A = this chain, B = another copy of it.
Amino acid sequence: MCEQSNDAEHVCLCPLEGIIDTIGRKWSLLVVNAIGNRGRLRFNQMMDELNGISPTTLADTLKELQREGLIKRESFAEIPPRVEYSLTKDGIQLRRAILPLLRWASTRSTATKRKCATAYRKMPAHRVERI
């Protein structure tokens, strides 16, 4: 624990202690990115975008992100009911911090696998880049 350490050279990683259980979840960062991608997103839209996530996990992840103040949930009293998720200020900053990681993942994937290459060429840059 760094609060007990008096070694000035010690590299303390404990800023992550509070947040690791949130952003360490398998899908957290991708959920944040997906929401930031579109501005606002609904549950089933996320299910479509995040290929492979289960509704249970998505629900858990959304609750956790909301608890940490990274996303905002708004529900509208309509029939059928509608719920929209968007990023908070903190969430927007997190999303900005994730972008290099996602770019790394894309370049790696296209370099090593060559799958989805055409789909990528088709995709307008602002879809990935814009906040």
Contacts and interface: CB of A to CB of B under 8 A. Distances in A.
A23 B17 CA distance: 18
Interface of A: 1-3, 5, 8, 10-20, 23-27, 29-30, 34, 37, 49-52, 90, 93-94, 96-106, 108-110, 112-113, 115-116, 119-120, 122-123, 127-128
Given A104-B97, A116-B2, A20 B15 contact: no
A90 B105 CA distance: 10
Contact of A93 (B17, B104, B109): B104
Total identical chains: 2
Q: Interface SS of chain A: helix, strand, loop or mixed?
A: helix
Contacts of A14: 51, 109, 115-116, 119
Nearest to A26: B24
Contacts of A5: 119
